[in-house]
Structures are given as structure tokens and as C-alpha cells.
Amino acid sequence: MADDCIFCKIRDGEIPSEKLHSDDDCFVIRDINPIAPTHLLVIPNQHFAELSELGPEPNPAFAGMFSAARAMAEQEGVAESGYRLIINQGSDGGQEVMHLHMHLIGGRPLRGLGLR
């Protein structure tokens, strides 16, 4: 657990936030400031700030994150209409919370590549 990491605190229940899904790899919450009718955050349980902190070997949590995203898209009713998965990496990527996470955004047509 990284000190003062908001997503670690949500993971550990220190900050209350409804978990829509939780498993050995990751958990899913609604973004507090949604940009679309569906805006979820798929967050690995393991704290690492960004991709560059990981070694070259594949991280098994990523496979679990994509499985969770697929299941959540079904649950949210956006699997057929489509959605976007985004990881903001680092400063130019627009990353604000330094605990890697994947956005799942859908429920309206999305244009451009930006999150906001």
C-alpha cells in the first residue's frame, strides 16, 4: 500500500466507495466525475504508479483487468453499443491518480481521443 494513494484507500475500505466488482486481480468503481453515462475505473489491487514501474515480464493482473472490463461492459449494457478503454500513462498522458487504472467509458458516442 502506498501512503496517501486514494485507490489503495478505496481498495482497503478506508475511503468508502461502492465496488461494482472485486476479484484477486482488480476491483471496479464508478468514476467520481463521469464524462459519459458509463464511466468506470478498473483498478489493479497491486499498487504500482505507472507502467514504467513494472518489469518486462507480463503482469497477470492485466488479463484479469480486461476480463473484468468485458464483464462490466455487459453488466452496464454497453457491450453491444461499444465503449472505450483508456489508460492515461504519465504526465503527457494526463494521468492524475498515480495508481495505474483503466477507464471504461460508454453510453454515448465518443469522439476524438481525449478523456476530457
Choosing from 32, 57, 80, 91, the residue that interacts with ligand 5GP (CB under 6 A) is 32
DSSP code for 86: E
Find the binding residues for ligand 5GP in span 85-114 (CB under 6 A): 88, 94-97
Would you call 99 a catalytic residue per the annotation?
no
> In terms of C-beta distances under 8 Å and separation of at least 24 residues, what long-range contacts does 16-25 make, across chains too?
20/72, 20/75, 21/68, 21/71, 21/72, 23/64, 23/68, 24/64, 25/60, 25/61, 25/63, 25/64, 25/65, 25/68
Site string for Zn ion, 23-52 (x = CB under 5 A): ------------------------x-----
DSSP code for 2: -
7 touching Zn ion, by CB under 5 A: yes
Strands (E), the chain: 21-22, 26-30, 38-44, 83-86, 102-106
The binder of 94, among Zn ion, ligand 5GP, none, by C-beta within 5 to 8 A per type, is ligand 5GP
23 touching ligand 5GP, by CB under 6 A: no
46 touching ligand 5GP, by CB under 6 A: no
Summarize as ranges the residues that interact with ligand 5GP (CB under 6 A): 6, 17, 29-33, 41, 88, 94-97
Residues designated as active site: 101
